[in-house]
Amino acid sequence: MAIRPARANIDPVSAGPPIPDPERVIRDEDWYGQDLSGRVYGQYSFLDTDWTEVVDEGAVFDTCTFAGVRFNASRHTGAAFTNCTFRRCTFFDTSFTDCKFVGSLFQQSTFTLFQVTGGDWSFVGPPSAWNRPRSSPRPSG
């Protein structure tokens, strides 16, 4: 019988959520009407933040977590939200035009008057998020 190194018995997948870098946590902020065009955020956590009427053109969000964020009446054009998680977010009268959402995940979010035109929504999950009552977010185009 071969002796295995101690590491072989450690589960490489942690059961708990990753602990965010405190320098990259934005919590309880009001970003009402801000222009985020051209900004780049990598591995940030946006928690309970108001993005009402935010606009952005070409902003990049990579491996970010959005929890309790209100995207109401926000407009996003040519933005990238790659490998992001959206948990308990509100998308009311939100529009995404030619945006990239590759590998992103939506959980317990609400979609009302949600508009998507073009873009890349490959590997977005879960597909059941598009079938929730009171929502019509199925991407078209």
Q: What is the mean pLDDT of each run of 10 residues along the chain (141 residues)?
A: 49 53 92 97 96 98 97 98 96 97 94 94 74 49 52
* Non-local CB neighbours of 108 within 8 Å, separated by 6+ positions: 87, 88
Residue burial 106-117, b: 16+ Cβ < 10 Å; e: rest: beebbbeebbbe
Owner of token pair 């873009």: 119
pLDDT of residue 102: 96
pLDDT of residue 72: 97
Amino acid occupying residue 84: C
Q: What six digits make up the tokens of 55?
A: 């606009």
Number of H helices, E strands in the chain: 0, 14
SS3 51: coil
Beta-strand runs (E) in the chain: 25-27, 40-42, 45-47, 55-57, 60-62, 65-67, 75-77, 80-82, 85-87, 90-92, 95-97, 105-107, 110-112, 115-117
pLDDT of residue 125: 85
